[in-house]
Amino acid sequence: MGAFPRGLMRIERGWRLVIALLIAAAFAVPALAQQPAEPPTPAPTAAPPKPKPKPKPAAAAPTAKPAGPAAAASGGPQPKLLGQYGEWGAYTASPSGKKVCFALTKPTSSETVPPNRPRNPVFMFISARPADKVANEVSIVIGYPFKPGSEASADIGSTSFALYTQQDGAWIKNAADEANMVAAIRGGDAMVVKGVSAKGTQTTDTFTLKGASQALDRVGQECK
């Protein structure tokens, strides 16, 4: 969590695009730092989509989140790989002089019901933006538009976290639980994310959490 409650903060469109470009570009950065024996997170075969999260109108609306990755544009800001830890990479960049850091991973397995439904790339990232006093912000891009009004879930061991969905993005529904979720990610073995697409396809994505704690430590060192 950041140093202050995010509430229904407004995220400028320009900043959402910057985050999108950074994460899309991160897939192309070779693993050169700290963990030479570990392979970098493989590049997606298609450019990730751009979710457009907004505050939910209901009284118990979850916190608005910044959008996830979108198609990378030429000349966009290039992130620096800080280290590769298993399936997790730690990155930083300073677009327009504002430093941002993030830990990034892709699922180790994905299933759909009905089977073999096409999807865009799926990944999870945990970001920090010191200028906005934001840290440990968990975001998931699921690779399809969620069913409108639906919730997704993230299970780590016996603990389940409800996720707010918007377009193809998912974020912790209760902002007060985000610190607990990050602690569970640090101490867990795997996270299983389940959701339903706008067309009714049920999905299950499993992310390994091995290496997540080291990646988050490196992000925390870089973006204090």
Average pLDDT, rounded, for the chain: 77
User: Among 27, 88, 70, 28, which Cα is nearest to 216's?
Assistant: 88
Per-residue confidence band for 104, with pLDDT thresholds at 50, 70 and 90:
very high
Mean pLDDT, rounded, for 65-91: 69
Cα 152 to Cα 47, 142, 192, 194, 196, distances in angstroms:
23, 10, 10, 6, 7
Mean pLDDT, rounded, for 38-52: 39
Specify the residue for token string 């966009």. 76
Mean pLDDT, rounded, for 184-196: 98
Residue 154, pLDDT above cutoff 70: yes
Residue type, 88: W
Per-residue confidence band for 108, with pLDDT thresholds at 50, 70 and 90:
very high
pLDDT for position 81:
93
pLDDT for position 69:
37
Report CA 130 to chain centroid distance, whole Å: 17
Report CA 188 to chain centroid distance, whole Å: 17
What domains are there in the chain, each with its CATH number? 13-222 (2.60.40.1880)
Cα 46 to Cα 68, 124, 188, distances in angstroms:
15, 16, 29
pLDDT tens, position by position, 4-42:
333 333 343 445 456 656 666 766 554 333 333 334 444
Q: What are phi and psi of 166, to 5 degrees?
A: -155, 120
H helices of 84-144, in order, are none
pLDDT for position 42:
45
